[in-house]
Amino acid sequence: MTGPVGPRPSAPVALRPLPFTAARLAGGFWARRAAANRAAIPVGYQRLKEAGSIGNLRIAAGEGDGTATGASFRDSDVYKWLEAAAWEHGRSPDERLLERIRELSRTIAAAQQEDGYLNSAIQVRGEERYAQLWMSHELYCAGHLMQAAMAVARATGETELLEVAVKFGDHLAATFGPDGRSELDGHPVVEMGLVELYRQTGERRYLDLATHFVDARGHGRAVKPGFDPSHYGDPAHYSDRVPVRKARTVEGHAVRSVYFVAGATDVAIETGDAELLAAVRGLYEAMRNEKQHVTGAIGSRWDGEAFGEPFELPPDRAYAETCAAIGAIQWAWRLLLATGEAGYADQIELMLYNAVLPAVSLDSADYFYVNTLHRRTGAHGDLERSPAHGRRPWFNCACCPPNVMRTLASLPAYLATGSGGSLQIHQYAAGSLASEGFAVDVDTDYPWDGEIAVTVRQAPAHEVELSLRVPAWASGSTLDGQPVTPGAYARIRRTFTAGERVTLSLRLPARLLAPNDRMDSLRGCVAVARGPLVYAIEQPDQPSGVTLEDIRIDPSAPLRAEHRPDLLGGVTVVHGSGTVITALPDTPYHPHGQPPPPAQPIPLTLIPYYAWSNRGPHPMRVWIPAG
């Protein structure tokens, strides 16, 4: 059994995932969050029922009556939930979860049509198949079904859902491709699903179809036909303006874009296509350098849920959809496997802590869809997904909550890779890791503390390599007292013995970050980070009566960390100082050159950004004017 992604043995990758159960969380930061997520999974099932998403499948299966509810991608919410449930049951058996997995698998199998087609809403409504592929998400649902089926098969050994996915995959292979229908689904993800199906079954036709979908995009085959003045009429919305091999940047709908390039990376890995791999690596660089928020989140526009132009990264209007960060993590993971470069693991860490974790409340009961970097004083939540409401239990378009569930359920898979007894540790969390006779325990209070102790439990009688990622921000860090290079792996190659310990000491001073000068909306501001965490000021932690927008941080003042076990489930806060304006000008604009408004000194307290909005929806900001 493997984790979420396991390239075939023939794939020329630098790193290989560990077997599914070889990485475990125990105690520590991530184990607590994973436990809260696990507890939320049965609740998620209830919410899927209440929303009608499970009901749609039941009606299509002949197990219920009525009309279908919601958009035609509702099935995908159920599939993501199934993936989460599978990883959790596989890790620690739970009969009730298994019963739900079996019951849903039976329903889904019964809903599937004779020739393999499956989409409950389209079937129940009697709509024509593939008639509106730019928006119908029929292949998107197929992709999520394939991912869920793989998780269920690998984590539980149950194959009923896999049979459904195979039948759907066969139907797609017979329907689409160079000799079949030429349209593309407006929303990618089927590419990743098909590659997983190929990995699971060894059937080349699934990889061939994924390769076709990757190369067919960029020629206007996914865009809505005819004229539509909205983003639906723009090929860029669907990553369909420029072929991926020629593209120079990510654009359009952020989730569609990163799911697509993650699938293209899978194809590059499995086919050994160096040109395609170079292209997707270039796209990742473009995203990282010009289109990523400081939190690692992506998406700058509410209109079209889209990337903006280079450096268009407004903090208050940030879209930063949770699913987009999850897709970017999936992409970075594939690039990490392909290249072995520490920078991709740095990216995964940044996004896990600061782009996915903020999306879920500390108790895992509520979710953000949109992850703003600045909730203004007096903000009014107009749309359901507006972050001004605070997190919500579910959404009419509920792509994000079950996506968080499956991501946190598969977290251990991102910790390490290994083969031949060597082990590469990418993410630091208390727990245990094992690779072919080499087993270690990891003890750490990361991210609050930078000491990471790796104790060998079992070692082969020959030389193996233990690699520990040194994050790019961790200058001045050491491994067993010796300096290590940030942004690379510290490697120890030797014959280890059980009981010995190596200690990585990462330095975690709070630090200030400044935006690139082209990021107009951030000019004059700084952000605070400590270790992997981005920080924010939130109203409840500041002196009473101050308006958050009137605060300035003094960048020359020292920053001091303090651990607060009593606050927000236990966090390290950062203390700084600054000023608050005492008399705002009473005009919106004034002649240039006037002295700054009067201000008085105040202490500032920053919390980890992920923890904001757990005390009510208060004003908050990540980027703070410096002055």
Q: How many CA atoms are closer than 13 Å to the CA of 301, on its beta-carbon side?
A: 16
Q: Is 168 in the site for ligand FUB (CB under 6 A)?
A: no
Burial zone of 376 (CB within 10 Å; 0-12 exposed, 13-18 middle, 19+ buried) = middle
Q: Is 59 in the site for Zn ion (CB under 5 A)?
A: no
Of 70, 43, 46, 68, give the one whose Cα is nearest residue 57: 68
CA angle 222, 228, 230 (to 5 degrees): 90
Q: Which is nearer to ligand FUB, 302 or 311 (CB)?
A: 302
Q: Which is nearer to ligand FUB, 255 or 464 (CB)?
A: 255
With CB under 6 A as the contact rule, the residue among 47, 74, 100, 187 that binds ligand FUB is 187
Total residues binding ligand FUB (CB under 6 A):
8
Measured from the CB of residue 395, what is the shortest distance to ligand FUB in angstroms?
9
With CB under 6 A as the contact rule, the residue among 323, 342, 506, 536 that binds ligand FUB is 323
Block residue for tokens 């889904």:
108
Site for ligand FUB in 114-133 (CB under 6 A): none
Q: Which is nearer to Zn ion, 18 or 399 (CB)?
A: 399
With CB under 5 A as the contact rule, the residue among 400, 434, 506, 620 that binds Zn ion is 400
Binding at 241: pick from Zn ion, ligand FUB, none (beta carbon under 5-8 Å per type): none
Q: Which helix (H) or strand (E) holds 132?
A: none
Question: Residue 159 and residue 125: Cα distance in Å, rounded?
Answer: 29
* C-beta of residue 260 within 8 angstroms of C-beta of residue 191: yes
β-strand partners of 292? 298
Question: Residue 464 and residue 609: Cα distance in Å, rounded?
Answer: 39
- Show the site string, 403-442: x = touches ligand FUB by CB under 6 A, - = not: ----------------------------------------
Site for ligand FUB in 372-401 (CB under 6 A): 397, 399
With CB under 6 A as the contact rule, the residue among 305, 349, 366, 538 that binds ligand FUB is 305
Question: Residue 104 and residue 101: Cα distance in Å, rounded?
Answer: 5
Binding at 284: pick from ligand FUB, Zn ion, none (beta carbon under 5-8 Å per type): none
Of 389, 320, 395, give the one whose Cα is nearest residue 73: 395
Block residue for tokens 């997983």:
196
* C-beta of residue 168 within 8 angstroms of C-beta of residue 116: yes
Measured from the CB of residue 360, what is the shortest distance to Zn ion in angstroms?
12
Q: Which is nearer to ligand FUB, 254 or 442 (CB)?
A: 254
Measured from the CB of residue 253, what is the shortest distance to Zn ion in angstroms?
11
Q: Is 195 in the site for ligand FUB (CB under 6 A)?
A: no
Q: Which is nearer to ligand FUB, 130 or 436 (CB)?
A: 130
Measured from the CB of residue 84, what is the shortest distance to Zn ion in angstroms?
14
Q: Which two tokens stand for residue 396?
A: 């009419």
Binding at 73: pick from ligand FUB, Zn ion, none (beta carbon under 5-8 Å per type): ligand FUB
Site for ligand FUB in 17-76 (CB under 6 A): 73
Q: Is 321 in the site for ligand FUB (CB under 6 A)?
A: yes
Measured from the CB of residue 400, what is the shortest distance to Zn ion in angstroms?
4
CA angle 346, 351, 357 (to 5 degrees): 135
Q: Which two tokens stand for residue 565?
A: 């076990």
Distance between the two ends of the chain, CA-based, in angstroms?
55
Of 328, 367, 357, 403, give the one whose Cα is nearest residue 77: 403
Q: Which helix (H) or strand (E) holds 269?
A: helix 254-271
Q: Is 399 in the site for Zn ion (CB under 5 A)?
A: yes
- Show the site string, 319-338: x = touches Zn ion by CB under 5 A, - = not: ----x---------------
* C-beta of residue 418 within 8 angstroms of C-beta of residue 97: no
Q: Is 255 in the site for ligand FUB (CB under 6 A)?
A: yes
Binding at 187: pick from ligand FUB, Zn ion, none (beta carbon under 5-8 Å per type): ligand FUB
Q: Which is nearer to ligand FUB, 13 or 190 (CB)?
A: 190
Measured from the CB of residue 568, what is the shortest distance to ligand FUB in angstroms?
28
Peptide bond connecting 93 to the previous residue in cis, omega within 30 degrees of 0 = no
Question: Residue 600 and residue 192: Cα distance in Å, rounded?
Answer: 55
Cα-Cα-Cα-Cα dihedral of 568, 553, 448, 608, to 10°?
Answer: 40
Residue 213 CA: distances (Å) to CA of 12, 269, 407: 22, 15, 25
**What residue ranges in 431-519 does DSSP mark as E strands?**
431-435, 438-444, 451-458, 464-470, 478-479, 482-483, 488-494, 501-505, 510-513
Measured from the CB of residue 154, what is the shortest distance to Zn ion in angstroms?
24
Q: Which is nearer to Zn ion, 331 or 623 (CB)?
A: 331
Measured from the CB of residue 143, what is the shortest distance to ligand FUB in angstroms?
11
Total residues belonging to the chain: 627
Binding at 397: pick from Zn ion, ligand FUB, none (beta carbon under 5-8 Å per type): ligand FUB
Q: Is 574 in the site for ligand FUB (CB under 6 A)?
A: no
Binding at 305: pick from ligand FUB, Zn ion, none (beta carbon under 5-8 Å per type): ligand FUB
Measured from the CB of residue 321, what is the shortest distance to ligand FUB in angstroms?
5
Write a three-state SS string for 27-73: CHHHHHHHHHHHHHHHHHHHHHHHHCHHHHHHHHHCCCCCCCCCCCC
- Show the site string, 510-539: x = touches ligand FUB by CB under 6 A, - = not: ------------------------------
Q: Which is nearer to ligand FUB, 73 or 394 (CB)?
A: 73
Site for ligand FUB in 70-89 (CB under 6 A): 73
Write a three-state SS string for 517-546: CCCHHHCCEEEEEECCEEEEEEHHHCCCCC
Q: Is 185 in the site for ligand FUB (CB under 6 A)?
A: no
Measured from the CB of residue 326, what is the shortest distance to Zn ion in angstroms?
8
Measured from the CB of residue 73, what is the shortest distance to ligand FUB in angstroms?
5
- Which residues bind to Zn ion, rule: CB under 5 A? 323, 399-400
- Which residues bind to ligand FUB, rule: CB under 6 A? 73, 187, 255, 305, 321, 323, 397, 399
